[in-house]
Amino acid sequence: MRTFGHKRPVRDQAGAVIAQVPSPVAAMTRDELGGQFGKDRRRRLAVTLADGDVIVMRPTGTRREVSATAQDIYRFMIRVTTGRYDARVRELKKVMTLAEARRQARKERGW
């Protein structure tokens, strides 16, 4: 399992561990960024799991980094998915209320 803040051991001639060197886990996205990202539209994202539960992203070939904690990203994703669900429920309620009003109006007209 890959972990945040991974450290790689440094060994001496005898093979004993003498230090730990930071060795963050990094990966590259498969797809390029789309046209909505302006000048970065044809670049892929480099994603790094840094120490302190921080996720760092940057377009390849640039130094512009964007970082956030894993908890913040998880919170954002929950909000986004919950917001979509809530919007669908509200829309469905609105449609049902409108349909009921139309049925009632037809009933009063005697249709």
For residue 19, give the nearest of 37, 7, 31, 30 by alpha carbon: 7
Average pLDDT score over the chain = 89
Pair of tokens at residue 37: 């990202």
Contact 57, 72 (CB under 8 A): no
pLDDT tens-digit readout, 52-99: 899 999 999 999 999 999 999 999 998 888 877 777 788 888 888 888
Neighbours of 59 (CB within 10 A): 21
This prediction's pTM: 0.66
Place of tokens 């789309």: 34
1 pLDDT tier (thresholds 50, 70, 90): confident
Q: How far apart are CA 6 and CA 106, in angstroms?
A: 68
CA distance 25 to 8: 11
